[in-house]
Amino acid sequence: MTPGARVQAAIELLDSIDTGGSAEKVLTSWGRRSRFAGSGDRAAVRDHVFQVLRCYRSYACLGGAQTGRGRMIGALRAEGLDPADTFTGEGHAPAPLTNMELSAGVEPVGADALDLNDWVLDEFRASLGSCAEAAAMALRTRAPVMVRVDLRRATRDDAIGVLAGDNISSAVHPIATTALCITGGARRIARSRAYLDGMIELQDGSGQAAMEAIELEGVQSILDYCAGGGGKALALATRSDARIYVHDVDPSRMQDIPARAARAGVSITSLLTSALPRKAPYDIVLCDAPCSGSGTWRRTPEAKWRLTSERLTALTQLQSQILPSAAALVAPKGQLIYATCSLLKAENEDRIDAFLSTVPGWKLVRARRFDVTDGGDGFFLARMIRL
């Protein structure tokens, strides 16, 4: 496909997404019916679509229209390119710009420039104060690909060498002692020797740094109460000989954990809700709660636009239900770790305050927000001790 044909494909996919299709489904279905598109074409079209979704408002301003075509014009202008060079009408490229399109387009300001819904910008300002705009701007850019090195198996330098053998370039990242940033060949990771041998695992840098901050000395049992795919439990398992258990209200979300644990050479036991003990046996209960994901919106940009204030309220209610249930499983003097991948105070500090003011016998030791950076997504971690 020519560069123009890729842009035209992205325009059509963006219009489908605008009418309610999910980006992943729309891209998959386009890939199936577009046999002519090679892997480079697919990646390029995907990049266009995701970048426009990250910058949905600002690109519409720059392009002068709230359509796939308008936003792609805006995307090119944002890169300092002249859209007329791509919109040629040749080789399946989009039709040339009309006179109206040539004169349309304004510089975005306010929430348009920050690419947030108005009410979300208010939440960001209330949560992050002077850091709100920097966080919003960081969410407009592509996320890094980060991997965690299992330091029991290799040093980071060893892992860099093994990855290089599979034509994958990487560099040490300071966000965590285990972190590597993949700088080239990211699409080859799942087939690489380092990955298949369990030397590395895909994990965002903030998640790695957060798990590294958990005090594990003397800990004999850990329950990951909202385990999902088990990324956090796996990181803890490589640092501790404690017995590790995982649980999720939706057990199907844990289906990949046995294979991931086998690859990492660790033992992790999955528990159904009905199998959770009545007593409080765990030295640590990690509660990586369901949340808006606002810290990860550069990876899932559609979620940024789909979050409503009603949904945020429902999430905070769910978080406030989950925390006491998880807390009830912590042994005396044990730790309750509350985490989200959200930047919003309503899902973080406010939930901790609500928990501490309604459930006696707990002390907050530390709460920390991880900002969106070149190595990590937005994340929040609070550590509480049972008195």
Ligand X SMILES: C[S@@+](CC[C@H](N)C(=O)[O-])C[C@H]1O[C@@H](n2cnc3c(N)ncnc32)[C@H](O)[C@@H]1O
**Rounded Cα–Cα distance for residues 373 and 134 (Å):** 10
Residue 227 binds ligand X (CB under 6 A): yes
Give the phi and the psi of residue 383 in degrees, each rounded to 5. -115, 125
Residue with smaller CB distance to ligand X, 52 or 143:
143
Residue 231 binds ligand X (CB under 6 A): yes
Q: CB under 6 A: which stretch of 155-163, 165-173, 225-233, 358-366 binds ligand X?
A: 225-233
Query: Mask of contacts with ligand X, 300-339, x by CB under 6 A?
Result: ----------------------x-----------------
Q: CB under 6 A: which stretch of 57-65, 73-81, 89-97, 230-238 binds ligand X?
A: 230-238
Residue with smaller CB distance to ligand X, 273 or 308:
273
HSE-up of residue 373 (Cα within 13 Å, Cβ side): 17
Question: Which residues within the stretch 253-272 sit at the binding site for ligand X (CB under 6 A)?
Answer: 253
Residue with smaller CB distance to ligand X, 250 or 353:
250
CB of 325 to ligand X, least distance (A): 7
Residue with smaller CB distance to ligand X, 104 or 202:
202
Residue 248 binds ligand X (CB under 6 A): yes
Residue 377 binds ligand X (CB under 6 A): no
Q: CB under 6 A: which stretch of 7-15, 135-143, 226-234, 330-338 binds ligand X?
A: 226-234
Residue with smaller CB distance to ligand X, 64 or 230:
230
Residue 176 binds ligand X (CB under 6 A): no
Residue 249 binds ligand X (CB under 6 A): yes
CB of 79 to ligand X, least distance (A): 33
**Rounded Cα–Cα distance for residues 73 and 70 (Å):** 5
Within 10 A of 278 (CB to CB), how many other CB atoms are there? 7
Q: Which pairing describes strands 379-386 and 330-340: parallel, antiparallel, or unpaired?
A: antiparallel
Residue with smaller CB distance to ligand X, 57 or 232:
232
Q: How many residues bind ligand X (CB under 6 A)?
A: 15
Residue with smaller CB distance to ligand X, 93 or 287:
287
Among 83, 290, 295, 378, binds ligand X (CB under 6 A): 290
Residue 65 binds ligand X (CB under 6 A): no
**Rounded Cα–Cα distance for residues 107 and 275 (Å):** 57
Residue 120 binds ligand X (CB under 6 A): no
Residue 228 binds ligand X (CB under 6 A): yes
Residue 229 binds ligand X (CB under 6 A): yes
Residue 295 binds ligand X (CB under 6 A): no
Residue with smaller CB distance to ligand X, 219 or 315:
315
> Which residues sit at the interface with ligand X, rule CB under 6 A?
225-232, 248-250, 253, 288, 290, 322
